[in-house]
Structure 1
Amino acid sequence: MALQWMILACVVAAEAAVAALLTLPAPRAVRRQVVGLTSMLLQPFAAILPFAAFQLLDIYWKKEHRLMCTSDICTADERIHFEKSMFKAQRNVILCVSACLLYWCIYHICKYNKDIKALEEIEKHLKEE
């Protein structure tokens, strides 16, 4: 289970780096190359969306079937274990949501850059006429 979360954390870190790279100011030629490369990689990276959704469903299922330790019958160790598992679940939910959100942001940044490029070409064509 820890391997899945490590993979998801690495993907989120890579998505954050790509999003930062796309939003940094750069010359047009460099920006077009980065946007083109990122656009080509968006389709294979879309696999992270069902993966994150499955992980969210897994977290929800485990939450619904977890033994609650809120009464006085629980020992201190059981209560600590319960709280740790709750914190890990919350961290993992944030990881899944941020993976989906960062993918959505990267997709729209690339889309907006392509739209800007198309508008610049239209403007250039209109100026030539």
Structure 2
Amino acid sequence: MALQWVILAYVVAAEAAVAIILTLPSPKALKSRIVSLISLILQPSLFIIPFSGFQLLDIYWKNEHRLMCSGEICTAAERDRYEKSIYKSQRNAVLCSAACLLYWCIYRICKYHREIQSMEEVEKRYKDQ
């Protein structure tokens, strides 16, 4: 089960790196090539949205069916284990949300860049006429 969270953590790290690369200032030619390359990668990497959604559903289901340990019956070790599982599920929920949010941000940045390029082309045509 831990492999899926490792994969999701690497994907979030890669998405964060791509978002940083997209937002760094660079020459127009280089920026357009970077955006076109990332736009090609965005389509196949869409799998992260349903994967994250499924993981969020799994976290929710496990949270609803988790044994509560709040009474005096629980030992200190059981209480620590319960709290640790709560913290892990919260961390994983943040990871899933970050994956979806970063994918959306990268998509919007690429889309805005393409729209700006098309507006610049239209402006250039009007100036030439």
Cross-structure match for 2:58: 58
Which 4+ runs in 1 deviate beyond 3 A?
A: none
Write the mapping of 1:79-118 to structure 2, written as runs, cut at 5 A.
Answer: 79-118=79-118
How much is the aligned-residue C-alpha RMSD, in angstroms? 0.4
Q: Counterparts of 2:33 and 2:96 in 1: how far apart (Å)?
A: 29
Task: Write the distance in 1 (CA, Å) between the matches of 2:27 and 2:95.
Answer: 33
The separation in 2 between residues aligned to 1:18 and 1:70, in whole angstroms, is: 43
Unaligned runs of 5+ in 1: none
Cα deviation, 1:33-54, whole Å, max 9, x if unaligned, reads 0000000111100000000000
SS of residue in 1 equivalent to 2:43: helix
Q: Name the amino acid aligned to 1:65.
A: H
CA distance in 1, matches of 2:93, 2:66: 16
Tell me the equivalent position of 1:76.
Answer: 76
What TM-score comes out, normalization by structure 2 length?
Answer: 0.99
Counterpart Cα distance in 2 of 1:26 and 1:69: 54
**Count of matched residue positions in the alignment of Structure 1 and Structure 2:** 129
- Map Cα deviations across residues 41-87 of structure 1 (whole Å, 9 max, x no partner): 11100000000000000000000000000111100000000000000
Q: TM-score w.r.t. structure 1 length?
A: 0.99
CA distance in 2, matches of 1:128, 1:107: 32
Question: In structure 2, what residue type is equivalent to 1:76?
Answer: A
Task: Find the counterpart in structure 1 of residue 31 from structure 2.
Answer: 31
- Mapped to 1, the partners of 2:113 and 2:66 lie a distance apart of 46
In structure 1, what is the Cα distance between the partners aligned to 2:98 and 2:30?
A: 27
Residue identity in the other structure for 2:45: F
Q: Which amino acid aligns with 1:26?
A: S
Identity %: 63
